[in-house]
Structure 1
Amino acid sequence: MDESEEEVFEELEPFFSFKRDAMETREIKQKGCLLNVKLVVTNYNTPFASKTSPEFVISGAAVFQVRLVAAQVNNGHTITYNNLLFVKFTKRRLTDDLTYMILFNSAELNVSQTFTSDDGTWHLIHENKKQQFTFDVSVEMHLKEGTSSFAQLHGDTELTDFELRGEDGSVRMHRVVLAAASPVLRRMLGGAWREAAEGHVDVTGTSRATLEHLKNYIYLHTLPQTGLEQLLLLSCYYMMPELERRCVSMLVRDMNATNACDLIEFAAKNNVKRLLLAVLECVQNGAISITEIRDHLGDGE
């Protein structure tokens, strides 16, 4: 759909809306960067109509929507239904210079596609001739990344010129790479700080393993499966918002009633607002049941 067609599309929608809710949204489940929802479509004998789903905000960064365009043709003998389904995926903030991608899947529609957040257009994903049908939507959002320009330096030892020291060991890295990754480290390394002169910084309360995870993310854009809480604290301290967002997404994705309270306590204790809001959002939209949390805490009465 080109720009001129989309403008006409937007103008016509208020005049050709369904008298009843022809696309119902059901069974919404959302945890961090994962969204699952059921949509039920019914054509109520309307010659032409369109319906747009609510905006689904994913991880606070982007918005996903589904649009139905339905037409009905009656030739006097038979009625033919034509349904077109579109999706759109856009960033919430214009100042966000990152590009996100979603993996879109629907088993009922037999559709599996990938979309990026920077085009802002409606994409046709399916068409059928049914009067009524139900379909599932499964969306998983990721950061779209190019090849890291620092990947080849990950294993280098000859040119490393700075050291991050943890409680039980240290990790050697390159000043220029650290400066590119964090504005806090950039100020430290580019100023008259003692750490810049000595060639190392003591990262209090942090293990060598966590520093290795930080190095792997900076050089390779990879994240560990465990130890995300401590890596999240480093991302906040060194002002690395995308690392913070990704850690929060992974923690919330694997959250359940058993560890939900632990995450809330951790977020509150360390003032990690993004994690606290993400957990509360899961509770609000029903992805985590209050009853299950009460049962886990032994307060079911």
Structure 2
Amino acid sequence: MPHHLCIKPLQRGPIRNLSISVLKDNDNKEITSQIFNVDMVEVSFKFNFDSQLTPHIRMKASNTNDFVHVTAHSYYQDNVKEQIYNKQSFCSADWLEATMKRIGCHSCINVNGKKTFIYLIDVDITIYKQFPAVSIPNIDKLYEDTEFTDFQLHAADGNVPMHKALLAANSNVFKAMMNGEWKEKGQGQINIEGVTVKTLQHIKDYMYLAMLPDEALELESLLVVAARYLIDKLKADCIKKLTQTVKPENVDRLIKLACQHDLHDLVKSLILNTRDEFVSDYYESQNKKKESSDDGDKN
């Protein structure tokens, strides 16, 4: 048996998990997998062997341009795992190839008197769109414009200039503030409390360019503002990205955020889309905290 490749796909929520096992002898032949379709993105793998295994992932979008977030871990004996890839990439109609970290084998067996090495890899693939379905011509020029901006978002540490029409189109609360007898209309600005100018810039990035930040804390701050001012599309996209990229250590913080700001949609999304292993990791971490607290009380 010169080599054997097995890939088992599993879908849970927005994440496609691919469990890969490679059985390989000492030859240097390349192994190529079949093509998998993950939410209109084609994905395949290639493996090179030269004392260690080097995995490569190839991706291309079938119809639209998408952002693809891929994380991969290799497994060793005693369930030790190592992250070998973690990257977000823009995927178009052309094949994009990325190389993961070289890995050692999980174990070694004897097949017909010949050493055969076993490699185990776990890959998570998340597809999400970062740009609006309908693009607006010259929106980038409007985004950079300061001459014709007629309103401002204000935070304690600075202001972000905006166009009133775009604010009104995205939020009925903003629209009411700018149309009625609210003080914001006369001041030409809306004071957003509890955030920094960085969050306000992210609001502008989203309204003009449909771009979201990558940092979880920035996304959480943006979500709170979106919920407060009924910016429904921004709220939904923040929840989607937070649940797509959540880590076990962040689940507790997100649940507390949801309870503090009545973000029922966030809790629902976490329940539906968080992978089982995240829930179990979170449960174990909570038990450890409780045991540590109990030990402290006894002392």
Q: Find out whether 1:147 has 2:135 as its counterpart.
A: yes
Cα distance 1:270–1:175, how it changes in 2: closer, same or farther (>3 A)?
A: same
Q: Distance in 1 between matches of 2:41 and 2:277?
A: 20
Describe the shift of the 1:192–1:139 C-alpha distance in structure 2 as closer, same or farther (beyond 3 A): same
Q: CA deviation at 1:241?
A: 2.2
Residues 166-211 of structure 1: per-residue CA shift (max 9 Å, x gap):
1221111111121122222122212232211221111111211100
Consecutive unaligned residues of structure 1, counting only runs of 5 or more, are 1-25, 39-84, 90-101, 117-135
The residue type paired with residue 202 of structure 1 is N
- Over the matched positions of the two proteins, sequence identity in percent amounts to 26
Kindly indicate whether residue 262 of structure 2 is the aligned counterpart of residue 271 of structure 1: yes
Q: Deviations over 1:106-160 (max 9, x none)?
A: 559x9854357xxxxxxxxxxxxxxxxxxx9956242662333532121222111
CA contact (8 A) 1:258 1:296 kept: no
Pairing 1:294–2:281 present: no
Paired position in structure 1 for 2:149: 160
TM-score (norm. length: structure 1): 0.55
SS at match of 1:290: helix
| 1:222 match: secondary structure | coil
Change in 2 beyond 3 A, CA 1:114/1:242: farther
Instruction: Tell me how many residue pairs correspond in the alignment.
Output: 199
- Matched-pair contact (CA < 8 Å) for 1:104–1:138: no
Tell me by how many angstroms 1:162 deviates: 0.9
Taking a change above 3 Å as real, the CA distance of residues 238 and 106 of structure 1, as seen in their structure-2 partners, is farther
- Whether the 8 Å CA contact 1:105–1:137 is kept in 2: the answer is no
Matches within 5 A, 1:274-285: 274-283=265-274, 285=275
Query: Of 26, 32, 35, which residue of structure 1 is paired with 2:16?
Result: 35
Q: Is the 8 A contact 1:165 1:203 kept in 2?
A: yes
Matched-pair contact (CA < 8 Å) for 1:248–1:275:
yes
Query: Cα–Cα, structure 1 residues 114 and 137, in superposed 2: closer, same or farther, change >3 Å?
Result: farther
Distance (Å, rounded) in 2 between the aligned partners of 1:148 and 1:237: 27
SS at match of 2:129: strand
Residues 216-227 of structure 1 aligned to structure 2 (within 5 Å): 216-226=205-215, 227=218
What displacement does 1:29 show?
A: 4.7
Q: TM-score, normalised by structure 2?
A: 0.56
Deviation at 1:37, TM superposition (A): 6.2
Q: Whole-Å Cα distance in 2 between the matches of residues 194 and 107 of structure 1?
A: 59
**Quick check: 2:131–2:210 contact (8 Å CA) kept in 1?**
no
Q: CA deviation at 1:271?
A: 0.9
- In 2 relative to 1, CA 139–209 (structure 1 residues): closer, same or farther, beyond 3 Å? closer
Unaligned runs of 5+ in 2: 1-7, 20-34, 47-57, 65-122, 292-299
**Cross-structure match for 2:22:** none
Distance 1:88 1:225 in 2: 22
For 1:187, which of 152, 155, 176 is the aligned residue? 176
RMSD: 3.4
Q: Which residue of 2 aligns with 1:103?
A: 41
| Cα distance change, pair 148–273 in 1 and its aligned pair in 2 (3 A) | farther
Counterpart-to-counterpart distance in 1, 2:257 and 2:188: 32
Distance in 2 separating the partners of 1:201 and 1:300: 44
Contact 1:106 1:138 in 2 (8 A): no
| Residues 148, 221 of structure 1: 8 Å contact kept | no
